[in-house]
Structure 1
Amino acid sequence: MTALARSAAVRLGAVTAVIACAADQASKVYLLFLYQLPQHAPLRLGPLFDFVFVRNRGISYGLFQTQGELGQWLLLGFKVAAVIALGAWLLNARDRFTALSLGLIIGGAIGNAIDRVAYGWVFDFVFFHIHTAGWRFDWYVFNLADVAIVAGVIGLLYESLFAGRAAKAP
């Protein structure tokens, strides 16, 4: 990869991170302060989705819940370290797909870190569920930052599992 192509990939990753973080924060600011979701929840969006108000004191999907301030700072420190490591990976990205995937993860991590600094918890609001006669499936409550992180991880997994094989095929 040429230096120009690598520079373009890094720029793509950085722009993707900014867009992912901005979309996440814009959705949260709108729902928290303009729509005032805590007072109107749940907001039914159809048979599969509701907007709800959840204070997530853990990491993605509510894992590792912490109640104290120390735990929140430890989780924030972990996110900062992860963003630094992912940023270093982005600077060495060899293609645009990797840069795009890393940008999604970085932007999502920064979006959730902003919540943790501003509120002491992460604002989750999208509740996916399927309720039919005799059967019920409730997914975790998540936000746009979580969507960006998951999409980025799926992109990296796809690339590591399938894209490398396609390039090596005779």
Structure 2
Amino acid sequence: MSLKKSLLIIILVLLADQVSKIYIKTNFVYEQTEIIFSWFKIYFIENSGAAWGTKLSDFLPISESTGKLILTIFRIFAVFGIGYWLWDIIKKGSPKTLIFAVSLIFAGALGNIIDSVFYGMIFDHSYGQVSTLFADEPYGSLFHGRVVDMLYFPLIDTTWPDWVPSFGGQRFRFFEPVFNIADTAISTGVGILIVFNKRAFPKKEEIQETTDQNS
């Protein structure tokens, strides 16, 4: 896969991700829900931490603001690392499967980085009001933005039977996490690397055979 095709994938994912996030921020109040199907809802929340809303301040003796800054800086370094990996595999002519997967992962990581770095200084808060883009009084500052999530798939929403030990009578919901298009791109890219591992990372003998066949 060429660099141009990889960039096209990245741009398309970023556009879809950022357009959806900006739309949600400027049209939804925090925790507002729109039911599309019984198993799919648009549910607006914001994530100031890592995956599943985890915060560094939950584990380390630091303030939430400091934890957020550390996490954002870590994400920036991670994006640069993924970007270098993508450039390197394109230059080496690696399999299309690998380049496609890493392009998705890079685009997703970059999409969430945009939220973390810039959203705090361009939006005001969404609690009890619809947020304004380029607000006079933004809710945060540079590197202290919150990631916008909105895709919610409660495929199963039921209650455990009373006879089930420990869980009887408790609510059971699958799939619980709320995510966004950037998260979807990252998960898809990682899934491709796992499922099509042999195609993405062929052995040297297989690469040589493919080269000989194409020559």
Match of 1:146 among 163, 166, 183: 183
TM-score normalised over the length of structure 1: 0.81
Structure 1: distance between partners of 2:96 and 2:199: 16
Compared CA separation, residues 149 and 39, structure 1 to 2 (3 A): closer
Structure 2: distance between partners of 1:18 and 1:75: 24
The size of the alignment, in residue pairs, is 159
Structure 2: distance between partners of 1:107 and 1:19: 9
2:86 corresponding residue in structure 1:
90
Match of 1:128 among 129, 153, 156: 153
Q: Is the Cα–Cα contact under 8 Å of residues 61 and 142 in structure 1 kept in the other structure?
A: no
Q: Does 2:80 align with 1:80?
A: no
Structure 2: distance between partners of 1:149 and 1:64: 20
Compared CA separation, residues 99 and 62, structure 1 to 2 (3 A): same
Structure 1: distance between partners of 2:178 and 2:150: 6
Q: Is the Cα–Cα contact under 8 Å of residues 45 and 149 in structure 2 kept in the other structure?
A: yes
Relative contact order (alpha carbons < 8 A, sep ≥ 6): 1 or 2 greater? 1
Gaps of 5+ in 2: 58-62, 121-144, 161-171, 210-215
Identity %: 28
* Larger fraction in helix: 1
Compared CA separation, residues 132 and 113, structure 1 to 2 (3 A): closer
Alignment of 1:13-162 (within 5 A): 13-33=6-26, 36-38=27-29, 41-64=32-55, 68-93=64-89, 94-117=94-117, 118-119=119-120, 120-131=145-156, 134=159, 136-138=172-174, 139-161=176-198
Structure with the greater alpha carbon radius of gyration: 2
TM-score normalised over the length of structure 2: 0.65
Structure 1: distance between partners of 2:98 and 2:42: 31
